[in-house]
Amino acid sequence: MTMEMDVMHSIQQDMNLIDILWKQDIDLGASREVFDYNHRQKEHELQRQLEQQEEKRLHLLREQEKALLAQLQLDEETGEYVPRPVALPPLQSAIIPLEVSQDVSFPADSGDAMSFDECLQLLAETFPVGETENSSVGLNTTEVRPMLSPELAAVPSPTLSPDPLSASPSQAMCPELEEAWMELLSLPELQPCLNIKMEDAVETTAYPLPPSPDAQNPNCQFYQTNSAEVETNAINICPVEFLNTVEASVPSMVQSDHLTQADSPQFHTDFAAESFGEMFYSNPVQKENTGQHGLDGYNSDAMSDMASQPFTPAGLYSLSPGDAFDKHDLMAELPDSDSGISSHTSPNASSPGKSVYGDGSFHHSDSDMEEMDHNPGSAETDFSEMFSINFEPDDLQRTLSVSALERSEEQMEGKLEPHKMDSVEECGQSGAPFTKDKKRRSDARLSRDEQRAKALKIPLSVSRIINLPVDDFKELLSKHHLNDAQMALVQDIRRRGKNKVAAQNCRKRKMENIVGLEGELDSLKEEKERLLSEKVQKAAHLKEMKQQLNSLYLEVFSKLRDEKGNSYSPSEYSLQQSTNGSIFLVPRVKKTLAKSDIRHMSSA
């Protein structure tokens, strides 16, 4: 028990680290310049909208979680949250149904955990078979999950109903919830919350619930991510009321944002079976029991690292023990695509990265993929280089740091590349011609650098050469003993890559300045027009005033009389006003002499 608590504490620490690294990735990704300014702005707005939606969903999730916890009680013996007895008189009717769609035999050598037969036995004792089929018998698949062997987990699962909504309610529940959870779990903002939940779950579910027939089903959609496991720990045993709320809230979410993944259950299941099935063996509880993978030396950190990594073939096979998989063959099977994301997209999954991590941000860069495409023979070395750092157990902190850098690098590229790819796809329809061009030339440039690097047998990926911080870059160089030519080329590649970004930023700023100056010019023109019209108006007004003054002046003159009663001529005299307000009649011709002739006039 103490051991388990220690192990769980390490899991907690790993999850905290993952959380921190996630945030770092997000920060780095957010600061990453996206080169197409206009598109970046649009994407930014879209992202803002998505974030708002996701915040709402997060809020909803928390409310539902509260509702769930309110209906659960802590089992003091097992540390599990279990449904309150009052809430579910018949247990069978209160637990979520998870249909078994495939029977899979379990290997007997699954470690010290309960064997599958034992699980079945216990299940049969707990739940009569007849009631477990179509009634809503709860199945905590996650508890059985660790007992699945990786071989079993790697078995491709049969295709589920492509349209969950058309299936029976009990069948539809699982894919819907699964998709909803995957969508929710894909939100980086949710990671802290989920990590917290994971900690709670780890702390409170030290002992698994009795296994169920659904344990036979490795396809269960809850069988996917750590976070999903956490959720299932809560959900699979939650009362119907809560499930109904979840179910009611799910379709809208699914339909709103997951239309493109309507046919993705296959991916999820495959993904679950192939990647996380193994990943769950890194669960230290199970690890101490099984220890059959040869991963024990590093999987606690590497796995937790990989847990936040994308599901990529590379990531998966980098975990495969003892080169059980031929990476080369595998890479050769990757579709030759000029977009990073589709290179690891299963045929049935439109966007696995998005479905799992929200934005499809995890994948290899163009350069990486191109590297593989162009030099399939070197893919293994590339991957060994790319992931070797993850598996150096001697320096966990550094490993995590560099792994984070790699991830952030990949994520930065991920934020960029899908954007590019989307641009290509959108522009193919909406007709912005330059993006394809840009993409192609970007590939060409990267290819040149890749080829140069290959020519000198530089064991580093161009993206890492360019994007790593200087300290990590130097450390990386120190790990690989490069000759002068290689070092010079690496420096050139780094300089070019950084300068390329700088040039793009510079041009972007220049365009922004131009746009700003154009706006300023427009406003100045408007101001000029306004002032001109105001000037005209004032001039007209002034003219009118002058006319009025002139007429008034003449009127005054016409009323002035001298001693003889004669009127003064305006051409010979003018009226002037002194500082004290007195008005004088001044002769126009002889002003110097006029002072003597000044005739005092009464003030007006």
Smallest gap, in angstroms, from Cβ of residue 458 to DNA? Answer: 15
Smallest gap, in angstroms, from Cβ of residue 509 to DNA? Answer: 5
Smallest gap, in angstroms, from Cβ of residue 432 to DNA? Answer: 10
Residue 499 interacts with DNA (CB under 7 A)? yes
Residue 510 interacts with DNA (CB under 7 A)? yes
Residue 433 interacts with DNA (CB under 7 A)? yes
Residue range at the interface with DNA (CB under 7 A); choices 125-133, 410-418, 491-499, 565-573: 491-499
Smallest gap, in angstroms, from Cβ of residue 513 to DNA? Answer: 8
Mask for 30-59, x = binds DNA (CB under 7 A): -----xx-----------------------
Residue range at the interface with DNA (CB under 7 A); choices 54-62, 127-135, 235-243, 434-442: 434-442
The tokens of 21 are what? Answer: 């690294």
On whether the CB atoms of residues 363 and 417 are closer than 8 A, the answer is: yes
Smallest gap, in angstroms, from Cβ of residue 103 to DNA? Answer: 53
Among 59, 495, 528, 591, binds DNA (CB under 7 A): 495
Residue range at the interface with DNA (CB under 7 A); choices 16-24, 210-218, 227-235, 428-436: 428-436
Among candidates 259, 229, 263, 413, which has minimal Cα distance to 346?
263
The tokens of 541 are what? Answer: 């007004």
**What does residue 585 show for φ and ψ, rounded to 5 degrees?**
-100, 115
- One-letter amino acid at 461 equals S
CA 267, CA 159: separation in Å to the nearest integer? Answer: 9
Residue ranges of E strands in 533-572: none
Which residue number, 258 or 364, has a Cβ lying nearer to DNA?
Answer: 364
Among 5, 74, 502, 554, binds DNA (CB under 7 A): 502
Residue 374 interacts with DNA (CB under 7 A)? no
Rg (CA), the chain: 38
Strand partners for 38? none
Which residue number, 284 or 497, has a Cβ lying nearer to DNA?
Answer: 497
Among 494, 568, 573, 585, binds DNA (CB under 7 A): 494
Residue 434 interacts with DNA (CB under 7 A)? yes
On whether the CB atoms of residues 343 and 334 are closer than 8 A, the answer is: yes
DSSP state letter for 604: -
Among 267, 473, 568, 573, binds DNA (CB under 7 A): 473
Mask for 438-457, x = binds DNA (CB under 7 A): x-xxx--x--xx--------
Which residue number, 74 or 506, has a Cβ lying nearer to DNA?
Answer: 506
In our burial notation (b when 16+ CB lie closer than 10 A, e otherwise), range 336-366 reads: eebbbbbbbbbebbbbbbbbbbbbbbbbbbb
Residue ranges of E strands in 28-124: 72-74, 81-83
Rounded to 5°, the CA angle 298-303-307 comes to 165
CA 119, CA 214: separation in Å to the nearest integer? Answer: 11
Among 498, 525, 535, 543, binds DNA (CB under 7 A): 498
Could you tell me which residues come within 8 angstroms of residue 212 by beta carbon, excluding any fewer than 6 positions away? 98, 119, 123, 126, 127, 132, 137, 138, 139, 140, 141, 144
Smallest gap, in angstroms, from Cβ of residue 490 to DNA? Answer: 11
Smallest gap, in angstroms, from Cβ of residue 30 to DNA? Answer: 16
Residue range at the interface with DNA (CB under 7 A); choices 160-168, 298-306, 347-355, 488-496: 488-496
Residue 431 interacts with DNA (CB under 7 A)? no
CA 298, CA 391: separation in Å to the nearest integer? Answer: 6
The position carrying tokens 């530089």 is 458
Among candidates 181, 207, 208, 215, which has minimal Cα distance to 65?
181
* Total chain residues near DNA (CB under 7 A): 32
Residue 565 interacts with DNA (CB under 7 A)? no
Among 1, 470, 593, 604, binds DNA (CB under 7 A): 470
H/E stretch holding 451 reads helix 434-455
Interface with DNA by CB under 7 A: which residues?
35-36, 433-435, 437-438, 440-442, 445, 448-449, 469-470, 473, 492, 494-500, 502-507, 509-510
